[in-house]
Amino acid sequence: MKVSFIQNERGNVLLCAVCTIFVVSLIAANVLLNCTARYNQASNQVRSWNEALYAAESGADIAYNEVRKIASNPASAFGASNGWATSGTTYTSGTTTFGTNGLRTSQTVDLFYSDPASGNAWYRIRSKGISPLQGLKRTGMDDRLSNGNRFAANGATRGDGDTLLRKIDFKYDHFTATYGPTGDGTNKAIVAVSPAPQLSRRIELIAAPVGPFDDVAIKVTGNFYGLGSAAYIDSYRSSAGPYDPSVKTNPSDPRYADSQSGSVQIDNATATVMGDIYGNLYTNGGTTTKKTLNVHGTIDNNVPFTLDSFSIPTYLPAPQASPTNINANTIVTPPAAGTARAPTVYLLSSFTKQLTINQNGSSQTYVAIHLTSDFTGAIDVKPGVHVQFFINGNVDVKAGDIVNETGYAGNMQFYSISPTDGSSQHININSPGNLVATFYAPSADFTMNGNPDVTGAIIAKSFYGNGNTSWHYDRSLDSLGDVTDYRIASYVEDIR
Amino acid sequence: MKLTHNSHQSGFTLAEILTAMAIAVVIFAAIITASLAMQKSFNAVDHYFATHIQQVRIIDYLNRDVKRALICTTSVNQQTVTLTIPKYIIQSGDAEAVSNPSLVGAMRSPTISTTTSGVQVNYGTATSTVVYSINGASILRTEDGVVTTIASSTDQLVPSTIDTDLANTEKTTMAVTFHPIFTSGNVADERTGTTVFSLAYLRNKRRG
């Protein structure tokens, strides 16, 4: 028997299977396409946007590091060898590329303000960070928000959702097209981004000078002993009014916060700290606890620091012809009011008698004294006079020998120039009398005898004082004195 | 005897047809069920990703504004955040813009002033106020009265922000959750499982 079989009349199972697979594949492909687009946006674009800020902040750190060199080593700040170009007081960096994703950053730093009281400069840091767009060159799927112009070259009219936030430059730099390369509205141009696409973010930081007496009543790198058991250290802000002893124990007083900044900083593990401290106490590895001390602020036993040796500023003008010593009581009236950066300078070889410094007319008068030997005399600073006293030798005086008639510690600043041969240096303040002054002596051992009332701050190598002193740190000192460092005082992002 | 077979006369028995139909019904039912399940799954995944993007966007918006803020306060229910931000860009209506409209959109130069609390950096004499809030299914960002919808979802997006003012700095922790479409009954756990968390420090509150 022979049975014939015709192939064309088989069933359609294969066709059904193919169609089914096709339909299922379409669904799967649609799911995959959407997921990929979502993932691309949620992961890659978000990452690039955040990395652009990392780049900008890293660039700001680079610039900040250069600004800090102005305080520690001015000759090395903004060096051409590090890629900086200088134009007046504006410094522009080259482009730094870093990271596995090819992040780029560039910065501009400019001096935009000089403190009239101290002459210290404030710097503005503008940093731009660029991150190449990771992942697919696709827009997002913001279909749940209202429609708008999403990727216009004119950034000011940009759309909604992620586009409004992240401002991805797929083809053209929207910032340059809308605001110009520096953001000031000049030189606008349609510029293709390379490598396209990319995201950029811009931040602006303000680096503020930190003076030697910033937020500290006593600061030493070595041994510390003091004060007497009945002594206290509090603070006030002279620019907000005269000192009031009742404020430190009255939290409802608006000046209360200013009264709690009489801090003591000791870069040593061993210290004998007595009396009340209405501020913070810092040591380097000490074991201070509040159970044993009346510290009203924060105790932090892990605050190491260093103090650079001090040398006379290079910006001082040439000295006056006379006087050249104070071996007899002398009265001087500066020929000009001067400024903090251009004071009237007196160069003295010895100082054993009294010097009285008068005001130049009714102008705030700035004076600098450079004494190349020991100071054993007396000084009387009249109202309206600001004195910086640079001393090569030692200081041995009574507190009453230092008369600061201005009432402000910042107007009588003592600076002990560090011996270059490493020899010892000391400052002895003996009784009687009270003291309204500041001392910056990173290489000197400071001793205070008696129970003086002190208004001011002391930075020294070591400190010894056993009297029941009432010590008032003036918070207005934080902006006085030559800059020792810089801090970031402001942060803004240009979100355009 | 020789039997001939004519294909035109071939056929299936009733039993064969019924069997085939039964199998086909089962197969098509499976396919349709699977397709519907896939469609639902796709829809859920699509919603999940779409809402996740909005989660991230809310976090990034908040992060950006917190970092550049001077002051940050959060409401008791942690769902309204108010930020005070320097007015870095001159805006329409600002004093400079009134006298010189071409300055709108330009950057401000900072000024330094001495106050009873010390020196401070100012960008103009006023600040911008940015408020993040929830309005129905939308998350709103309002800057000086100008409202921008930064996220809008039917998945019940809920941002939660806590501001912490420390002795030497200030930080803000943010978390955004939503309620996914696919649930197994324990709504709280499923919402918790969608949490996107972030922490940002107020750059202007760095001290020391």
pLDDT in tens, chain A (496 residues): 555 555 555 567 788 788 888 887 887 888 788 778 777 777 888 899 999 999 999 999 999 999 999 988 888 999 999 999 999 999 999 999 998 889 999 999 999 999 887 888 999 999 999 999 887 777 766 544 445 555 555 555 556 677 788 888 888 898 998 888 888 888 889 999 887 799 999 999 999 998 888 889 999 999 999 888 889 999 999 888 899 999 999 999 988 888 988 899 999 988 888 889 999 999 999 887 766 668 888 888 999 988 888 889 888 999 999 999 999 999 999 999 999 889 999 999 999 999 999 999 999 999 999 999 999 999 999 999 999 999 999 999 999 999 999 999 999 999 999 999 888 999 999 989 999 999 999 999 999 998 899 999 999 999 999 888 999 999 988 878 888 889 999 999 999 8
Return the axis-axis angle of helices B14-67 and A13-39, rounded to nearest 10°: 10
Q: Which residue shows structure tokens 């992240």? A: A166
State yes or no: pLDDT of B5 exceeds 60: no
Q: Which residue(s) pair with A465 in the sheet?
A: A448
Give the chain B residue whose CA is nearest to the CA of A36. Answer: B49
Closest CA–CA distance from residue A250 to any residue of chain B (Å): 18
How far apart CA B67 and CA B88 sit, in angstroms, is 14
Cβ of B56 within 8 Å of Cβ of A46? The answer is yes
Q: Is the dihedral of CA A162, A165, A166, A167 positive or negative?
A: positive
Cβ of B117 within 8 Å of Cβ of A239? The answer is no
Using CB atoms, which residue from A35, A490, A493 is nearest to B49?
A: A35
Closest CA–CA distance from residue B119 to any residue of chain A (Å): 8
Instruction: Give a three-class secondary structure readout of chain A.
Output: CCCCCCHHHCCCHHHHHHHHHHHHHHHHHHHHHHHHHHHHHHHHHHHHHHHHHHHHHHHHHHHHHHHHHHHHCHHHCCCHHHCCEEECCEEECCCEEECCCCEEEEEEEEEEEECCCCCCEEEEEEEEEEEECCCCCCCCCCCCCCCCCCCCCCHHHCCCHHHHHHCCECCECHHHHHHCCCCCCCCCCCCECCCCCEEEEEEEEEEEEECCCCCCCEEECCCEEECCCCCEEEEECHHHCCCCCCHHHCCCCCCCHHHHCCCEEECCCCCEECCEECCCEECECCCCCCCCCEECCCEECECCCCCCCCCCCCCCCCCCCCCCCECCCEEECCCCCCCCCCCEEEEECCECCEEEECCCCCCCEEEEEEECCCECCEEEECCCEEEEEEECCCEEEEHHHEEECCCCHHHEEEEECCCCCCCCCEEEEECCCCEEEEEEEEEEEEEECCCCEEEEEEEEEEEEECCCCEEEEEHHHHHCCCCCEEEEEEEEEECC
Q: What is the pLDDT of residue A453?
A: 93
Cβ of A183 within 8 Å of Cβ of B153? The answer is no
Cβ contact B118:A210 at 8 Å? no
Using CB atoms, which residue from A42, A165, A237 is nearest to B49?
A: A42
How far apart CA A477 and CA B41 sit, in angstroms, is 67
Using CB atoms, which residue from B5, B45, B60 is nearest to A3?
A: B5
Whether a cis peptide bond, with omega within 30° of 0, leads into A432 is yes
Confidence bin at B136 (pLDDT 50/70/90): confident
How far apart CA A263 and CA A54 sit, in angstroms, is 35
Closest CA–CA distance from residue A280 to any residue of chain B (Å): 11
How far apart CA A157 and CA A236 sit, in angstroms, is 51
Which are the contacts of A172, defined by CB distance < 8 A and separation ≥ 6? A153, A190, A191, A192, A193
Q: What is the pLDDT of residue A165?
A: 85
Closest CA–CA distance from residue A28 to any residue of chain B (Å): 8
Whether a cis peptide bond, with omega within 30° of 0, leads into B86 is no
State yes or no: pLDDT of B165 exceeds 70: yes
Cβ of B2 within 8 Å of Cβ of A1? The answer is yes
* Contacting residues of A for B110, CB less than 8 Å apart: 112-113, 124, 206, 490
Cβ of A492 within 8 Å of Cβ of B206? The answer is no
Q: What is the pLDDT of residue B22?
A: 95
In Å, how far are A183, B14, B16 from A6, measured between CA atoms?
Answer: 80, 22, 19
Cβ of A479 within 8 Å of Cβ of B114? The answer is yes
Cβ of B119 within 8 Å of Cβ of A4? The answer is no
Cβ of B121 within 8 Å of Cβ of A208? The answer is yes
Cβ of A492 within 8 Å of Cβ of B152? The answer is no
Closest CA–CA distance from residue A374 to any residue of chain B (Å): 35
How is residue A391 written in tokens?
Answer: 């001393």
Using CB atoms, which residue from B50, B56, B109 is nearest to A144?
A: B50
Give the chain A residue whose CA is nearest to the CA of B61. Answer: A165
* Contacting residues of B for A34, CB less than 8 Å apart: 42, 45-46, 49
Q: What is the pLDDT of residue B6?
A: 57
Give the chain B residue whose CA is nearest to the CA of A11. Answer: B20
Strands A378-381 and A402-404: parallel
Q: What is the pLDDT of residue B8?
A: 59
What's the pLDDT tens digit per position in B153-162?
Answer: 777 788 888 8
Which helix (H) or strand (E) covers residue B130, if one does? strand B127-135
Look at residues A57, A63, A54 and name the one whose alpha carbon lies nearest to residue A91: A63
* Contacting residues of A for B59, CB less than 8 Å apart: none
State yes or no: pLDDT of B128 exceeds 70: yes
* Contacting residues of B for A146, CB less than 8 Å apart: 149
How is residue A476 written in tokens?
Answer: 């207005």
pTM as predicted: 0.81
What's the pLDDT tens digit per position in B96-127?
Answer: 888 888 888 889 999 998 776 677 899 988 89
State yes or no: pLDDT of B12 exceeds 50: yes
Cβ of A494 within 8 Å of Cβ of B107? The answer is yes
How is residue A473 written in tokens?
Answer: 């740190």
Alpha helices in chain B (DSSP H): 14-67, 95-99, 187-192
For residue A164, the one-letter residue type is L
Q: Which residue(s) pair with B71 in the sheet?
A: B84
Which are the contacts of A376, defined by CB distance < 8 A and separation ≥ 6? A351, A352, A395, A396, A397
Cβ of B86 within 8 Å of Cβ of A112? The answer is no
Q: What is the pLDDT of residue B208?
A: 42
